Amino acid sequence: MSADSSAEVRHFLDLDRLDAGTLRQILDLGSACKRDGAFVEEKPLAGRQLAMIFEKPSTRTRVSFEVGMRQLGGQAVILEQQGSQLGRGETVADTARVLCRYVDVIMLRTTREENLLELAENSTVPVINGLTNRTHPCQLMADVMTFEEHLGPIKDRRVAWCGDGNNMATSWIHAAVRFEFELRVATPEELQPPQAVLDWAAAHGGRIVLGNDVEAAVDGADCVVTDVWTSMGDDETESFKQRRHNLLAGYRVDERVMRIANDDAIFMHCLPAHRGEEVAAEVIDGPRSVVWDEAENRLHAQKGILLWCLT
C-alpha cells in the first residue's frame, strides 16, 4: 500500500488492454470459485480492503463486489461521489493517491473514462473498471461465463447485438476479439458503436458484422443480446428518450426475433431491463432467457478478477 510498492500493478481496465490468455485465466478462476467453492476455506483475501467509488447508481456491481470480497475473506468500503470530496472537486488523481494508502484495490464506476485512466495512473494498487461511458468489462466476463455454461465454448460461435451501440456493445466487441467469436451488430446508423472500437476490432482480426437489420443479425445466432435504450449519463429528457424510442423501436427483441435465431439460442441482458422497450416480457421472462444466471455470474467472475488483481 505504500506509494512505491507497485512494480507491476494488475489493473482490470478493459478487455482490449488484457490478452486473451489472461482473460481466460481470470474466467477459470471465477468458474472455480463457483463450481468448487474454491477458496471458501482459504480466504485468500483476508485482511485485504476494496474501495468502490460510484459516480452512477448500481445494484449488481455494488452488491456482487462487496459480497465477493467478503466471501474471499476481505472487506469493502463504498464512496459515493456526492458525499465524498470528489463531489466537491477533489481531483481523481489526489483521491487515488490517498485511497491507495488505505486499501489494496479500487473499483470505479464513472461517467468519464478519463477518470478511470487518471485513477489508474495515480494508484499503486489495482484499479477495476466497474462501468464507464465507454465500456463494462466486468459484465462481459460474467456474460462469457454464462454463455459457456449454457452452450459450451464461445469460440467460433455467433452472438447478435440488437439496439444501442453503447458501452455494453463496445465491450461485446472487445470480447468477440479476445474470445474469438463472431458478433453481429444491428443498430440504427447513428447509434453505431464508436469507429475507434470498430477499427481496433478490424486491426485485431475481429469478426464483427455491422448492420441495421435485426433479422440478418440474429439469423443463425447462438445468443441474442440487448441493453437499455437510454444509458446512465445519457440525456434523460423526455424528448431525448422519445427520439431514442423512435430510432430503436424496430430493434426490440421479441418472440419473433428469437424465432429467427438458432433453436437453442439464449437471450442475455446485463440488466436493469425495461420490458416492452428493448425486450419483450415474453423473452426476458421466457425459457431462453439466462439473465438471472448472468447476474449471478457477476459475483463469480469478479471473484476471479479480484483474485487475479491481488494474488
Q: Which does 104 bind (CB under 5 to 8 A by kind): ligand NVA, ligand CP, none?
A: none
Q: Confirm whether 109 is a catalytic residue.
A: yes
Which grid cell sits at 98?
Answer: 490517498
Q: Which does 59 bind (CB under 5 to 8 A by kind): ligand CP, ligand NVA, none?
A: ligand CP
Instruction: Output 123 or 167, the one with its CB closest to ligand NVA.
Output: 167
Q: Residue for cell digits 440504427?
A: 188
Instruction: Output 98 or 271, the one with its CB closest to ligand CP.
Output: 271
CB-facing half-sphere around the CA of 77: CA atoms within 13 A: 12
Determine contact, residues 144/154, Cβ cutoff 8 Å.
yes
Q: Are β-strands 75-80 and 223-226 bridged in parallel, bridged antiparallel, or unpaired?
A: unpaired
Closest by Cα among 220, 212, 215, 159 to 190: 212
List the one residue from 103, 154, 168, 284 that touches ligand NVA (CB under 6 A).
Answer: 168
d(CA 14, CA 26): 13
Q: Among residue numbers 242 through 271, which ones bind ligand CP (CB under 6 A)?
A: 270-271
CB-CB neighbours of 152 under 10 Å: 10
Site string for ligand NVA, 267-306 (x = CB under 6 A): ---x------------------------------------
Q: Which does 53 bind (CB under 5 to 8 A by kind): ligand CP, ligand NVA, none?
A: none
Site string for ligand CP, 43-82 (x = CB under 6 A): ---------------xxxx---------------------
Please name the helix (run of DSSP H) or strand (run of DSSP E) that holds residue 170, with its range, or none.
Answer: helix 167-179
- Name the catalytic one among 136, 157, 244, 269: 136
Does residue 231 interact with ligand NVA by CB under 6 A? yes
Within 8 A by CB and 6+ apart from 43, the residues are: 72, 73
Relative orientation angle of helices 291-310 and 60-71, to the nearest 10 degrees: 50
d(CA 301, CA 305): 6
Count residues contacting ligand CP (CB under 6 A)? 8
Q: Confirm whether 136 is a catalytic residue.
A: yes
Binding site for ligand NVA (CB under 6 A): 131, 136, 166-168, 227-228, 231-232, 270
Binding site for ligand CP (CB under 6 A): 58-61, 131, 139, 270-271
Active site residues: 109, 136, 139, 227, 270, 298
